[in-house]
Structure 1
């Protein structure tokens, strides 16, 4: 799919009316609860229920941390309608083996229909945790592991997609072609906040960044018939701004980014995973590339800490 650039609202509404497919909305969910403790199965059940108000898919980060896969397995089975993108956190060899062990132990208790795919690493290239060659090798390793696992009904996980998630500028960088070639899918993270965008430019920046990444990925892969989605995007609704003139950290601004930027991407047929389900009041401070610290990571939920939805997640087109 060759994607158009950002267009006027009137033209976009007409484009949507002629489009055969609109993207699906998903949501990132942390493995820790509001107090920083690991989510129990009951808390995962609640999270799945809250996410199901606007989505049929959640995305996670690590299967062994906080016993995530062990605890969510019964919740997925009892819910019966939600799917999950599983994350593999590859911070070191010991942890990576723990992640693989969790897959081998708990995937057999779940229907493969509830697993959208497995993401090896989350911004591992951006942080420099792995080289492109090393990440590509781990993607291939997880594919081999899944081929030897069957679900609770005896169906093989061999066809489960394995890919990775990274920042949009990493995919524009042509040095990461090994990863694109190895992956069954790629997810792109893009946050206007971390680029210090103004309110008037945040949606244009989001769409442009994503389009650049998609074009590069499609060129490397040699096809436009390849699954590319947004792994994380959204805007904080509170906390400390990083620079003067930056888009305000308000609910109204987050809703504006959703309607003007995220809904544009959905309208182009791109699946988008919002960051994130609920505010995390105990989350550590975040650090920007220039070393600036901010507490914004505690205010990125579409739900507040009491599970009140902050704004509508229905696109106005």
Structure 2
């Protein structure tokens, strides 16, 4: 009797926690043809992702790369994705572009205008703010070698985060978690350990497809995707200490060139979704790359529903089998500092576990156009501790 009751409590607790984990996609500022998105384009995209056939939950969150609507840089205006999110009730992981800049004043000005214009309808949707995207990777030796574009050093990003907190201190977003998005190799680089103290969360971009094998010791065929992802994730969680880790980019391309042993195809993208995505959905906040491609410069296309009609290119149904046992799901990674999380998008990177564009402009915007481990585990641990005591 006690066992049955505890089982019900455990199941209920796990379900409640899982519902607290965001499911979303990345969303660039342009279409894959380089056309700047307007509010109607974002509305169509956000509405479509919430009705994907076979999806294991409602994907009602998006990760953006910038707060600024392209072409308004001289007098920054809020990106039209904000109005679309309000219309479609879509959660927002805001992005601030920091590569190659000396200030985030423009990004913050656009954000302040949005707060003033939309008020609570907007601020209630914001789940986090990412100050920068893959800047540490781009400024690293690997990033320079791979010609990943202009990045930003940890000291610069730390100041940008301080500036952001100061500017938002008197607004409705004053308690919003502020973090940074980067590759797992950037987060696990000991030279960036001090920077981790400056963020509320770590956004991790993880792409087994782009791994060379040098970092993990496995070739990057799709059959090895889960152990590669798990190894990278666990290393990031270890580096994070008590800071929560979010999955801010991951996916497998459906078309494009073979990368070492990794072959793009619908079949392999489905296998990756089911063997990697389905293990982490509901466990960590997850922003998949991508519903419809938005980076014209990338040969690899990751879009899983390019027509935005709710029909995916492959089966999104998660297998009805127990999740694999991973060290990441049993690590006590605190989420007390908040919830929350932009990217260069998929481009070319070797061994970084990331998909990096060679441009230093936000995802889907040409350079010329733009001058925590699962709470489920913690709850279940407590439940089973009580079970042991009662028995």
Q: Same fold (TM over 0.5)?
A: yes
User: CA separation in 2, counterparts of 1:217 and 1:276?
Assistant: 25
| Offset of residue 158 of structure 1 | 0.5
State the match for 2:202 in structure 1.
Answer: 186
| Offset of residue 188 of structure 1 | 0.6
State the match for 1:237 in structure 2.
Answer: 254
State the match for 1:265 in structure 2.
Answer: 280
State the match for 1:12 in structure 2.
Answer: none
TM-score (normalised: structure 1): 0.80
For residue 200 of structure 1, give the secondary structure of its aligned residue in structure 2. helix
For residue 301 of structure 1, give the secondary structure of its aligned residue in structure 2. coil
User: CA separation in 2, counterparts of 1:270 and 1:160?
Assistant: 18
User: CA separation in 2, counterparts of 1:189 and 1:94?
Assistant: 24
User: Which of these residues, 87, 93, 104, is aligned with residue 78 of structure 1?
Assistant: 87
User: CA separation in 2, counterparts of 1:170 and 1:19?
Assistant: 34
User: Which of these residues, 217, 222, 225, is aligned with residue 199 of structure 1?
Assistant: 222
CA contact (8 A) 2:193 2:239 kept: no
| Offset of residue 30 of structure 1 | 1.0
Q: 1:41 to 1:256 in 2, by over 3 A?
A: same
State the match for 1:212 in structure 2.
Answer: 235
- Pairing 1:216-231 to 2, within 5 Å after superposition: 216-218=239-241, 223=242, 226-231=243-248
Q: 1:206 to 1:18 in 2, by over 3 A?
A: farther
State the match for 2:359 in structure 1.
Answer: none
State the match for 2:302 in structure 1.
Answer: 300
Higher deviation after alignment, 30-39 or 92-101: 92-101
User: CA separation in 1, counterparts of 2:125 and 2:105?
Assistant: 23
| Offset of residue 251 of structure 1 | 0.8
User: CA separation in 2, counterparts of 1:201 and 1:309?
Assistant: 24
State the match for 2:297 in structure 1.
Answer: 284
- Pairing 1:83-162 to 2, within 5 Å after superposition: 83-93=91-101, 96-110=104-118, 111=120, 112-128=123-139, 129-149=151-171, 156-162=172-178
User: Which of these residues, 266, 285, 305, is aligned with residue 251 of structure 1?
Assistant: 266
Greater radius of gyration (CA): 2
Structure richer in helix, relative to its length = 1
User: CA separation in 1, counterparts of 2:159 and 2:194?
Assistant: 9
State the match for 2:288 in structure 1.
Answer: 274
User: CA separation in 2, counterparts of 1:141 and 1:198?
Assistant: 42
- Pairing 1:40-51 to 2, within 5 Å after superposition: 40-51=38-49
Deviations 1:31-79 (A, max 9, x none): 1024311111111111110122231210010111426834123222222
User: CA separation in 1, counterparts of 2:285 and 2:270?
Assistant: 18
Q: Which segments of 5 or more consecutive residues in structure 2 lack a partner in the other structure? A: 1-9, 52-57, 140-150, 213-219, 321-391
User: CA separation in 2, counterparts of 1:27 and 1:257?
Assistant: 16
Q: 1:183 to 1:42 in 2, by over 3 A?
A: same
Q: Which has the higher contact order (CA 8 A, sep 6+)?
A: 2
| Offset of residue 106 of structure 1 | 1.6
User: CA separation in 1, counterparts of 2:227 and 2:12?
Assistant: 22
Q: Which segments of 5 or more consecutive residues in structure 1 lack a partner in the other structure? A: 1-15, 150-155, 286-294
Q: What's the C-alpha RMSD, in Å, of the aligned pairs? A: 2.2
| Offset of residue 313 of structure 1 | 3.1
For residue 304 of structure 1, give the secondary structure of its aligned residue in structure 2. coil
User: CA separation in 1, counterparts of 2:223 and 2:13?
Assistant: 27
User: CA separation in 2, counterparts of 1:69 and 1:315?
Assistant: 36
CA contact (8 A) 1:146 1:158 kept: yes
